[in-house]
Amino acid sequence: MSKQIHIRLEDSVFDALTKYTGASGQSVQYCVTGALIQMLNKQKSPEKSDSLFSFIDLFAGIGGMRIAFENAGGHCVYSSEWNKYSQQTYFANFGEQPEGDITQVDANSIPDHDILVAGFPCQPFSIAGVSKKNSLGRATGFEDKTQGTLFFDVCRILKAKRPKAFMLENVKNLCSHDRGRTFKIILESLNELDYQVFYRVLDGQNFVPQHRERILIVGFDRKRYGSDIDFDFKITPPDHKPVIADILEQDVAEKYTLSDKLWTYLQNYAAKHKAAGNGFGYGIAPPDGVSRTLSARYYKDGSEVLIDQSGKNPRKLTPRECARLQGFPDTFKIPVSDTQAYKQFGNSVVVPLMENVAKLIVETLNNSAIQDSAQKEVL
């Protein structure tokens, strides 16, 4: 939902704005809205005196990582996200709009921070150029190996700002992408930047009623703490393991119930693949269990996570239920359409799992700082 305002401009300002929009190819609304958001972003709340650390939120999406790291005691000093609908949701919840295309951002302009957080997209890495340089006996660094990928932007910011630690999140398949070569390049690049790296595939189903495996890559600055860093993904699940029934709303609009046509199609599709020996098909989420992984394609038909309804066709989850399935609080605002909301939550993270890992990172930083201080006193 959007609202309208009417403003009066001096002739000179109007003429300048008209000239600018004509040259840039952008609408007046886009330019004025952008200028207002820039002004509001300058009014960011100052860092809290009780903040344990500062962090930046790259490829921020709708802010799942931000919530996790703020809950762990952090203060966000910078965010970046290019999708305009995700920017809308982020602004609605945090009062600031992330900067756009990270590839156009000067790394040195980003504020200093303790922890870099990024759920970077997985892109193909070019092996040909690296292989050619190796055959010529020439050394290659992360810039040669990762140039042209969004992971390169993570690396150049790590190099420029040198945070104490980082946490990267990606799909489980990153490990096997391109026969493992992509992940190998990622680890080599982070090692060349002199970070001690740890990684593990974690499943969010102990924190939310959803089977959702993601790889987390955590690194600590060897220049500060050396290579003898003790870190482990020792997550602490809640006492109560949540189930699907815990996240369901009581009164759900009829529009979320599958039409007869769509329900028939999904049943026939599942039957066809079952006959062929494949496991493809819809998924009815058990009320006392966990669902399949929620994906960004959920808006299309909701087939991976359907809710059974007695005496009628199954239904899709509502956007609020999707938010709960990812561990977002009910206070989280959803200002966009259902279609965009499904995409956003399908692309997001299991917030309480990320919070758990964030606290482990902070604990390790504190312990490493104490050990580093003690060693300096001995010397």
CATH number of the domain encompassing residue 27: 1.10.1220
Specify the 3-state DSSP secondary structure of 74.
strand
Measure Cα distances from 242 to 194, 227, 286, 287, 344 in Å. 40, 38, 12, 10, 22
Full domain range(s) for residue 323: 244-346
Domains in the chain, number: 3
Of 319, 313, 311, residue with least CA distance to 265? 313
Confirm if 307 and 248 have CB atoms less than 8 A apart.
yes
Q: pLDDT value at position 355? A: 98
Q: Which H/E stretch holds residue 221?
A: strand 213-221
Shared domain check, 19 and 115: no
**252/73 Cα distance (integer angstroms):** 36
Shared domain check, 156 and 126: yes
Q: pLDDT value at position 6? A: 61
**72/352 Cα distance (integer angstroms):** 10
**77/54 Cα distance (integer angstroms):** 7
Shared domain check, 184 and 56: yes
Shared domain check, 303 and 287: yes
Shared domain check, 206 and 111: yes
The residue type found at 139 is: A
Shared domain check, 270 and 319: yes
Shared domain check, 72 and 1: no
Shared domain check, 251 and 231: no
322 is catalytic: no
Residue showing tokens 């239904």: 315
Q: pLDDT value at position 116? A: 98
The DSSP 8-state label assigned to residue 277 in this structure reads T
Shared domain check, 254 and 369: no
Of 36, 123, 99, 61, residue with least CA distance to 340? 61
Each residue's pLDDT tens digit, 113-170: 999 999 988 766 544 444 444 444 444 455 666 666 889 999 999 999 999 999 999 9
Confirm if 311 and 287 have CB atoms less than 8 A apart.
no
In this structure, the strands spanning 312-316 and 165-171 are: unpaired
**173/159 Cα distance (integer angstroms):** 26
β-sheet bridge partners, residue 315:
257, 307
**78/56 Cα distance (integer angstroms):** 5
Specify the 3-state DSSP secondary structure of 258.
coil
Q: pLDDT value at position 148? A: 64
CATH number of the domain encompassing residue 327: 3.90.120.10
Q: What is the DSSP string of 279-337?
A: --S--BPPTTS-B----TTHHHH-TTSEEEETTEEEEEPPHHHHHHHTT--TT----S-
Residues with pLDDT less than 50, the chain: 31, 34-39, 41-42, 126-140, 374, 377-379
Shared domain check, 341 and 315: yes
Shared domain check, 364 and 283: no
Q: Among residues 31, 76, 122, 175, which one is catalytic?
A: 122
CATH number of the domain encompassing residue 82: 3.40.50.150
Shared domain check, 263 and 176: no
